C-alpha cells in the first residue's frame, strides 16, 4: 500500500509533470511550491533558498541548479523575472525554463553543456507584492508595477552616476532602499555573478546598458550611453535576440501609435530609449556582472492562452544567452608566498574602466570577445600586476572549457 502511495506521489510530483496541464498563471505561493517540489524530485543537484523578503514578508526564493557541485572555476548566472509586479510573462517563462533544463539534460547537448558547467540561479518573482495587486488582461499601465511601499524597484538601486535615484542625500537614500532591491544587492555581494537577465514586459526588445548617463558628452552620435564592454554587451544582446523568432524581426505592439516601443532589429541601448536612474542593469554592470533587460511581451499581463507561445519562443534565446557565460576568461588569484587564494582582489581589463572582483576562493570570470587583452589585478597589501591574456574563439556548437589563468600577487614589503 505504501508503495502505491509512493508511486501516486511520484506521478503527481515528478518534475516534468509539475507544470503540465492547461496554460495558467501560477500564484506566488504556487511558485514557491513548484520550486520546492522541483528541487525535491529533480535528479539534478538543486537547492532552494530565500535571498530576503518582500515588504509584506513574502520570501524571495531562488532555485539554484548546481550540477558542477563545488568544482572550482564554475561561473554563476542569474535569471530574474517580475521586478515590475505587473510584468508577469517572465515568471512563467522561467518556471518553464527550469523544467526544460531538467527534461532535456540527458538528450540535448547544449542543455547538458549549460547545466554541467554553469551555476544557474533563478528568481521567478522579485516583486511578489506588486504581482498580487496586478490585474490579468491589463496590457498597459502601472497597477501592481511598484512594490508595497510604492517604489519602482528598477529605480531603487544605487545609481552609478548619482549614487541614488532621487537626488536625496546618500544616507537618507540608504533608508529608502527597498527590501527587494537590498536582497539582490546582498546576494550579489555573496556570489560573483558573471551574467544576468531581468525579464520585463511592455515591449519586445533586448535593452543593454547603460540606462543612465552623467552629461550629454557621454552619449555617442546615436544618443547612446555605451559601456566600455560594448562589444561584449552587444554580442550578448544579439545572441538572445537572434534566436528569438519574433523579436529578431522587430515587433510593433498594437497600441504603439508613435513607434516608441518599436525596434527594427529588436535591440536598443537603455539610455537611448529612455533614461533610468537607479536601474538594476546599471547596478549589475558596475558591480562586475553584465545584465540585460529583456522585454519579452507587448502585453504586460496577457491572457493565459498566450503563455505557451511566450514559453516556447524564449527557451532557445535563454539557453544560448546562458551559454555565453562559458566564453571569455576565468582564473584564480593567489598569494605568491603562501599559495593561498586571495578573495576580493580587484581586476580590470586595461582600457575598460569598470572592475570585477574575485570570489572567496580567489576565482574570477569575465565574458570577453575573442582576442588578446591586458588584465590588471590589484589587492590590498599586494603589489599589483598586469598580465597579457587571451580569450579564445569557440564555435556556437562547442561546449567551451576555457583554461584557468593563475595569477600570483607578491605581498608588499
Ligand atoms: Zn518593466
Tell me: do 344 and 286 sit in the same domain: no
Please tell me the predicted confidence (pLDDT) of residue 1.
45
pLDDT less than 70: residues of the chain:
1-22, 163-175
What digits encode the pLDDT tens for the residues 11-41?
Answer: 444 444 466 556 899 999 999 999 999 999 9
- What is the CA(302)–ligand 1 centre distance, in A? 14
d(CA 124, CA 60): 9
Please tell me the predicted confidence (pLDDT) of residue 396.
86
Angle between helices 89-104 and 28-41 (to 10 degrees): 10
d(CA 270, CA 206): 9
Selection from 361, 363, 387, 392 nearest residue 376 by Cα: 387
Tell me: do 236 and 299 sit in the same domain: yes
Domain boundary, last residue among 277, 309, 326:
326
Tell me: do 16 and 43 sit in the same domain: yes
**CATH number of residue 362's parent domain:** 2.60.40.1120
Tell me: do 397 and 258 sit in the same domain: no
- What is the CA(274)–ligand 1 centre distance, in A? 12
Please tell me the predicted confidence (pLDDT) of residue 161.
75
Total domains, the chain: 2
- What is the CA(84)–ligand 1 centre distance, in A? 5
Instruction: Residue count of the chain, please give it.
Output: 413
- What is the CA(129)–ligand 1 centre distance, in A? 15
DSSP code per residue over 283-296: HHHHHT-EEEEEEE
Please tell me the predicted confidence (pLDDT) of residue 214.
85
Please tell me the predicted confidence (pLDDT) of residue 366.
98
- What is the CA(147)–ligand 1 centre distance, in A? 12
Q: From its phi and psi, is residue 152 left (phi > 0), alpha (psi between -120 and 50) or beta?
A: beta
Tell me: do 140 and 117 sit in the same domain: yes
- What is the CA(399)–ligand 1 centre distance, in A? 33
- What is the CA(320)–ligand 1 centre distance, in A? 22
Q: Which of 180, 291, 295, 363 is catalytic?
A: 295
Tell me: do 306 and 351 sit in the same domain: no
d(CA 273, CA 275): 7
**CATH number of residue 199's parent domain:** 3.40.630.10
**C-alpha 72: how far from its chain's center?**
21
Cell numbers at 310, concatenated: 511566450
Which residues span the domain enclosing 280? Answer: 2-326
Please tell me the predicted confidence (pLDDT) of residue 159.
85
Selection from 34, 77, 71 nearest residue 327 by Cα: 77
Instruction: Tell me if residue 313 is catalytic.
Output: no
- What is the CA(270)–ligand 1 centre distance, in A? 12
Please tell me the predicted confidence (pLDDT) of residue 169.
59
* Beta strand extents in 223-370 (DSSP E only): 267-269, 290-297, 329-335, 346-349, 356-357, 363-366
Helices of type H across 123-279: 128-133, 170-176, 179-190, 230-242, 270-273
Domain boundary, last residue among 296, 326, 356:
326
- Only one residue has cell 547538458, namely 112
Tell me: do 359 and 321 sit in the same domain: no
Tell me: do 242 and 387 sit in the same domain: no
Selection from 189, 187, 183, 158 nearest residue 343 by Cα: 189
Tell me: do 381 and 263 sit in the same domain: no
Is residue 236 within 8 Å of residue 292, measured between CB atoms?
Answer: yes
- What is the CA(225)–ligand 1 centre distance, in A? 20
- What is the CA(200)–ligand 1 centre distance, in A? 4
- What is the CA(260)–ligand 1 centre distance, in A? 15
Tell me: do 254 and 360 sit in the same domain: no
Amino acid at each position: 500500500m505504501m508503495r502505491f502511495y509512493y508511486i501516486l506521489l511520484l506521478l503527481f510530483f515528478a518534475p516534468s509533470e509539475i507544470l503540465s496541464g492547461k496554460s495558467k498563471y501560477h500564484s506566488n505561493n504556487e511558485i514557491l511550491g513548484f520550486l520546492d517540489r522541483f528541487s525535491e524530485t529533480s535528479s539534478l543537484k538543486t537547492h532552494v533558498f530565500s535571498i530576503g523578503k518582500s515588504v509584506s514578508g513574502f520570501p524571495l526564493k531562488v532555485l539554484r541548479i548546481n550540477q558542477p557541485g563545488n568544482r572550482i572555476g564554475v561561473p554563476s548566472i542569474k535569471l530574474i523575472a517580475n521586478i515590475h509586479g505587473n510584468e508577469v510573462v517572465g515568471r512563467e517563462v522561467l518556471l518553464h525554463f527550469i523544467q526544460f533544463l531538467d527534461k532535456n539534460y540527458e538528450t540535448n547537448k547544449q542543455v547538458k553543456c549549460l547545466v554541467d558547467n554553469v551555476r544557474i540561479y533563478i528568481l521567478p518573482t522579485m516583486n511578489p507584492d506588486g504581482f498580487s495587486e496586478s490585474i490579468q488582461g491589463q496590457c498597459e499601465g502601472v497597477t501592481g508595477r511598484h512594490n508595497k511601499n510604492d517604489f519602482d524597484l528598477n529605480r531603487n538601486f544605487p545609481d552609478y552616476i548619482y549614487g541614488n535615484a532621487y537626488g536625496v542625500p546618500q544616507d537618507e537614500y540608504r533608508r529608502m532602499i527597498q527590501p527587494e532591491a537590498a536582497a539582490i544587492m546582498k546576494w550579489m555581494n555573496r556570489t560573483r555573478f558573471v551574467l544576468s537577465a531581468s525579464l520585463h514586459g511592455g515591449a519586445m526588445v533586448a535593452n543593454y546598458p547603460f540606462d543612465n548617463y552623467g552629461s550629454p558628452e557621454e552619449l555617442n552620435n546615436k544618443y547612446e550611453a555605451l559601456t566600455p564592454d560594448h562589444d561584449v554587451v552587444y554580442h550578448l544582446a544579439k545572441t538572445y535576440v537572434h534566436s528569438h523568432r519574433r523579436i529578431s524581426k522587430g515587433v510593433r505592439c498594437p497600441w504603439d501609435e508613435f513607434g516608441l516601443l518599436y525596434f527594427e532589429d529588436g535591440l536598443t541601448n537603455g539610455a537611448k530609449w529612455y533614461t533610468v536612474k537607479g536601474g538594476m542593469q546599471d547596478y549589475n554592470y558596475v558591480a562586475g556582472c553584465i545584465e540585460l533587460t529583456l522585454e519579452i511581451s507587448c502585453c504586460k499581463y496577457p491572457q493565459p492562452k498566450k503563455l505557451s507561445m511566450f514559453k516556447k519562443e524564449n527557451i532557445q534565446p535563454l539557453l544560448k544567452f546562458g551559454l555565453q557565460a562559458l566564453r571569455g576568461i576565468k582564473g584564480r588569484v593567489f598569494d605568491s608566498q603562501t599559495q593561498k587564494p586571495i578573495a576580493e582582489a580587484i581586476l580590470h581589463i586595461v582600457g575598460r574602466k569598470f572592475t570585477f572582483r574575485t570570489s572567496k576562493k580567489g576565482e574570477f570570470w569575465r565574458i570577453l570577445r575573442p582576442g588578446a587583452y591586458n588584465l590588471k589585478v590589484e589587492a590590498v597589501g599586494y603589489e599589483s600586476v598586469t598580465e597579457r591574456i587571451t580569450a579564445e574563439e569557440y564555435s556556437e556548437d562547442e561546449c567551451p572549457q576555457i583554461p584557468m589563468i593563475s595569477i600570483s600577487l607578491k605581498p608588499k614589503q
